[in-house]
């Protein structure tokens, strides 16, 4: 199919133009223009491609739908023509820039000056019926813009991707390597924590994303906390506010409360949140002084016992701690290779990073693995 678009883009996207889905998309869009008021005007659908050739792109800003009000959208995501009032979504972007960089908030919502510098603002969907947000979703535009993102990710180095809105953020996976997307090679550190999937029991939004960070702590967590309500009520008595709809938030607050406020060490914290059963405490496994200490923890901090299947990896200033529930309903695996220690809820995650290790093991339920910089425990 012959599409009128800037040459550098045509060379890279011609294979998309020749695919059946694009032919169906064109038929749909043409019918829409004939039967309804569709934005933008037809000759502006690919305006951003014509204004910013492939080789010029430095920053990709991805939005969702075009503005649905006539006179606003002309083919550049978030931008409006000169003289048109600044839409709320663009005003929020300007406020973020002002708060972050101290730049004055512009009086115009026209972003052509950005485009001239290599900024490529593109919607996931390139057309819309006037006053009907989302009316052209799932008609083929997403497949096309996915291909555009993939071409940029594969064919350009040192690009910056900025994804506004949950709909646009779903495109993160299109970058071939998430590490490349977040430019991890530019970071240095002695400890790294990561989580490999969306939440399963709570809303999948940025506030509940892992690692959950607070002060010097980060938490990644796998499992379901059945004691969430009791834990939350207790921790909120001490000034914590649990607003993010995730049990991982509560775990982080519990550890902060016990470590920073109660001055307890990580070994003792593990004995509180994954406390041994009373029958185990009363057995010959512990000395009398240890039994008294465990009984004190269970009586004083009973509402901080975390029940249900879980595995937790805590990052703190100077190291990591791994802990799973006392019944070991969720797995925990540790491995060593040279001076490196790996912790994960599944062995395959460790093998993906380090296929051959010196030692690999699984701790008992409720048994913490605490690793400190230049020190192993």
Sheet of strand 333-337: strand arrangement:
340-344, 333-337, 359-361
Which whole number is the average pLDDT over 72-84? 95
User: At residue 210, does pLDDT exceed 90?
Assistant: no
Domains of the chain plus CATH, in order, are: 7-185 (3.40.470.10), 206-376 (3.60.20.10)
The predicted model gives 57-75 an average pLDDT of 93
Q: Please say if the pLDDT value at position 191 is more than 80.
A: yes
- What's the rounded Cα separation, in Å, for the pair 91 and 93? 5
Q: What is the pLDDT of residue 187?
A: 84
Q: For position 182, what pLDDT does the model report?
A: 66
What is the pLDDT, as a whole number, of residue 195? Answer: 81
Residue listed under structure tokens 């009984």:
295
Percent of the chain with pLDDT over 70: 90
Angle value at C-alpha 368, between 365 and 371, nearest 5 degrees: 150
| pLDDT score of 377 | 47
- How far apart are alpha carbons 340 and 344 in whole angstroms? 13
Structure tokens, 362: 């699984």
pLDDT tens digits for range 260-281 = 999 999 999 999 999 999 999 9
pLDDT value at residue 189: 85
CA distance 234 to 254: 9
| pLDDT 10s digits, 291-306 | 999 999 999 999 999 9
- For a pLDDT cut of 90, what percent of the chain falls above it? 68
Of residues 194 and 26, which shows the higher confidence score?
Answer: 26
Query: Which of 194, 199, 221, 224 lies closest to 352 in space, CA to CA?
Result: 194
- What's the sign of the alpha-carbon dihedral 13, 18, 23, 24? negative
| pLDDT tier at 200, thresholds 50, 70, 90 | low
3-state class of 371 per DSSP?
strand
Do the Cβ atoms of 138 and 110 come closer than 8 Å?
no
Confidence of residue 179 (pLDDT cuts 50, 70, 90): low
pLDDT in tens, 319-367: 999 999 999 999 999 999 999 999 998 899 899 889 999 999 999 999 9
**Alpha-carbon gap, residue 40 to 340, rounded angstroms:** 55
Instruction: Assess whether 284 carries a catalytic annotation.
Output: no
Arithmetic mean of pLDDT over the chain:
89
Give the pLDDT confidence score for residue 207 in this predicted structure: 62
Predicted pLDDT of residue 215: 80
Q: What is the mean pLDDT of residues 203-212?
A: 68
DSSP 80: -
Residue 237 has pLDDT above 90, yes or no: yes
pLDDT of residue 181: 60
Contacts of 237 (CB under 8 A, 6+ apart): none
Residue 338 CB contacts under 8 Å (≥ 6 apart), including other chains: 358
Question: Could you tell me if 309 and 224 are in contact, meaning their C-beta atoms sit under 8 angstroms apart?
Answer: yes
Q: What is the pLDDT of residues 7-58, one digit of tens each?
A: 999 999 999 999 999 999 999 999 999 999 999 999 999 999 999 999 999 9
The pLDDT value recorded for residue 162 is 81
**Predicted pLDDT at 170:** 65
* Residue reference for tokens 């503005």: 67
**Residue 6 contacts residue 49 (beta carbons within 8 Å):** yes
Range with the poorest average pLDDT among 117-126, 169-178, 298-307, 322-331: 169-178
Q: What is the DSSP letter of 86?
A: P
The side-by-side arrangement of strands in the sheet containing 212-214 is 212-214, 217-223, 310-316, 319-324, 369-372, 375-376
Write down the pLDDT at residue 360: 96
Pick the catalytic residue: 65, 247, 256, 325? 65
- Answer positive or negative: Cα dihedral of 15, 17, 21, 23: negative
CB 352, CB 346: distance < 8 Å: no
């Amino acid at each position: 199919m012959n599409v009128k678009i800037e040459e550098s883009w045509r060379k890279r996207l011609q294979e998309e133009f020749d695919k059946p889905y694009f032919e169906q998309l064109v038929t749909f869009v043409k019918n829409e223009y004939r039967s309804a008021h569709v934005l933008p005007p037809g000759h502006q659908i690919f305006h951003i491609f014509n204004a910013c050739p492939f080789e010029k792109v430095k920053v990709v800003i991805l939005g969702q739908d075009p503005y649905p009000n006539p006179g606003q959208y002309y083919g550049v995501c978030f931008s409006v023509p000169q003289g048109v009032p600044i839409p709320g979504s663009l005003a929020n972007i300007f406020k973020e820039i002002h708060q972050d960089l101290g730049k004055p908030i512009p009086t115009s919502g026209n972003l052509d000056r950005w485009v001239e510098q290599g900024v490529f603002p593109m919607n996931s969907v390139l057309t819309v019926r006037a006053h009907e947000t989302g009316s052209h979703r799932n008609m083929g535009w997403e497949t096309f813009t996915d291909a555009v993102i993939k071409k940029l990710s594969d064919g350009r180095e040192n690009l910056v991707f900025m994804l506004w809105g949950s709909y646009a953020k779903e495109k993160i996976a299109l970058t071939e390597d998430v590490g490349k997307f977040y430019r991890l090679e530019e970071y240095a550190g002695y400890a790294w924590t990561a989580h490999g999937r969306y939440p399963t029991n709570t809303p999948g939004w940025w506030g509940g994303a892992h690692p959950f960070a607070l002060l010097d702590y980060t938490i990644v967590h796998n499992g379901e906390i059945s004691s969430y309500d009791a834990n939350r009520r207790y921790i909120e008595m001490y000034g914590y506010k649990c607003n993010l709809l995730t049990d991982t938030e509560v775990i982080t607050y519990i550890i902060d409360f016990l470590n920073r406020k109660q001055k307890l060490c990580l070994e003792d914290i593990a004995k509180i949140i994954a406390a041994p059963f009373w029958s185990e405490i009363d057995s010959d496994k512990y000395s009398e002084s240890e039994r008294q200490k465990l009984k004190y923890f269970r009586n004083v901090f009973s509402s901080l016992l975390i029940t249900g299947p879980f595995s937790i990896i805590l990052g703190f200033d100077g190291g990591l701690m791994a802990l799973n529930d006392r019944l070991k309903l969720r797995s925990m695996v540790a491995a060593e290779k040279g001076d490196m220690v790996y912790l994960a809820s599944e062995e395959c995650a460790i093998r993906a990073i380090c296929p051959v290790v010196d030692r690999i093991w699984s701790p008992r339920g409720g048994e913490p693995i605490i690793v400190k910089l230049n020190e192993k425990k």
